[in-house]
């Protein structure tokens, strides 16, 4: 039985999923996990899916799994198909994509692969896209990102970057905003979380939802059983959204995990 499943008109199902980019040994290789991810996505059919850590072969495989009703937007963080994507998949039978962009979390966000805030190991980026919902003819935007795992400064400045993008561009265009991502920072105490939520710019779907479908589960699982703990994967929504349901989906199949992160899912609607 689906955790949330396909959304009815008037609602949208949003999912954030870190796919685990590095190739782990068996039984955690992508070849081992791909059937579990396929079952998850075929059951859930999110309207919008924000992915993190996916490399080209992951993205290609997901596109095949979600065919023919989905399209996607993404770029490797080192340019072209190189390295990890913050790809957004969307149901194009429901949503028309209007515009999109890829930005690097740095002082030079248009420079491919740039890193200037202490994230010495990897460049970090976001992908954003604006959509029109065919069922309501209303527009909205989705920002999908993956903050640095090493540098607290990089995470903090990345949060301010997402905030500026929202207030100076997306809101000025009159678009409600959703944010999905792996933030490598624990809600609710982490400073990046507070930057984005303290003044009400965004609400955490976990705290704002009318119904929680799961316990407060640590979203990084390390391929282990679910345990209480740090939520480093979030779905954030501005004031234009109602959040009906939210949960951390601890789906496994045959003892295998889809990833070393659990997907976070929410059922939302525009006010």
Q: CATH no. for residue 48?
A: 3.60.10.10
Predicted local confidence at residue 11, as pLDDT: 98
| Residue 121 located in a structural domain | yes
Predicted local confidence at residue 67, as pLDDT: 94
Cα separation, 120 vs 151, in Å, equals 8
| Residue 249 located in a structural domain | yes
| Residue 3 located in a structural domain | no
Q: What angle do CA 242, 246, 247 make, to 5 degrees?
A: 170
- Residue of 63, 76, 72 lying closest to 97 (CA atoms): 72
Predicted local confidence at residue 21, as pLDDT: 94
Buried b (16+ CB within 10 A) or exposed e, 135-146: eeeebbbbbbbb
Predicted local confidence at residue 245, as pLDDT: 99
Cα separation, 111 vs 253, in Å, equals 41
**Residue 54, both tokens:** 């996916």
Question: Domain limits at 260?
Answer: 12-270
Buried b (16+ CB within 10 A) or exposed e, 38-76: bbbbeebbbbbbbbbbbbbebbebbeebbeeebebbbbb
| Residue 64 located in a structural domain | yes
pLDDT band of residue 95 (cuts 50, 70, 90) is very high
Predicted local confidence at residue 241, as pLDDT: 99
Q: What is the mean pLDDT of residues 10-32?
A: 97
Contacts of 115 (CB under 8 A, 6+ apart): 104, 105, 106, 122, 123, 124, 154
Tens digit of each residue's pLDDT (9 = 90 or more) over 134-173: 999 999 999 999 999 999 999 999 999 999 999 999 999 9
| Contact between 97 and 130 (Cβ < 8 Å) | yes
| Residue 134 located in a structural domain | yes
H-type helices in the chain, by residue range? 30-44, 56-66, 152-165, 191-197, 205-208
| Residue 4 located in a structural domain | no
Tens digit of each residue's pLDDT (9 = 90 or more) over 215-224: 999 999 999 9
Q: What is the three-class DSSP state of 203?
A: strand
| Residue 7 located in a structural domain | no
Query: How many domains does one find in the chain?
Result: 1
Contacts of 128 (CB under 8 A, 6+ apart): 100, 101, 103, 141, 142, 143, 144, 165, 170
Predicted local confidence at residue 168, as pLDDT: 98
| Residue 110 located in a structural domain | yes
């Amino acid at each position: 039985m689906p955790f949330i499943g396909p959304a009815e008109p008037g609602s949208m199902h949003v999912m954030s999923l870190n796919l685990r980019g590095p190739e782990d040994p068996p039984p955690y290789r992508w070849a081992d996990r791909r059937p579990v991810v396929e079952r998850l996505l075929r059951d859930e059919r999110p309207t919008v899916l924000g992915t993190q850590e996916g490399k080209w072969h992951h993205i290609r495989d997901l596109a095949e799994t979600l065919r023919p009703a989905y399209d996607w937007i993404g770029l490797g963080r080192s340019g072209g198909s190189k390295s990890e994507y913050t790809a957004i998949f969307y149901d194009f039978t429901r949503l028309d994509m209007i515009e999109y962009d890829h930005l690097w979390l740095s002082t030079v966000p248009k420079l491919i692969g740039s890193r200037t805030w202490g994230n010495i190991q990897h460049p970090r980026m976001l992908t954003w896209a604006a959509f029109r919902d065919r069922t309501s003819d209303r527009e909205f935007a989705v920002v999908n990102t993956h903050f640095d795992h090493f540098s607290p400064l990089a995470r903090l400045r990345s949060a301010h970057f997402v905030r500026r993008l929202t207030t100076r561009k997306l809101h000025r265009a009159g678009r409600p905003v959703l944010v999905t991502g792996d933030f490598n920072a624990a809600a609710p105490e982490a400073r990046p979380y507070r930057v984005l939520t303290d003044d009400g710019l965004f609400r955490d779907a976990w705290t704002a939802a009318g119904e929680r479908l799961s316990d407060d589960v640590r979203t990084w699982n390390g391929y282990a059983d679910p345990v209480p703990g740090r939520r480093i994967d979030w779905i954030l929504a501005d004031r234009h959204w109602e959040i009906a349901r939210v949960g951390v989906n601890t789906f496994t199949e045959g003892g295998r995990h889809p990833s070393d992160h659990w997907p976070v899912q929410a059922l939302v609607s525009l006010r």
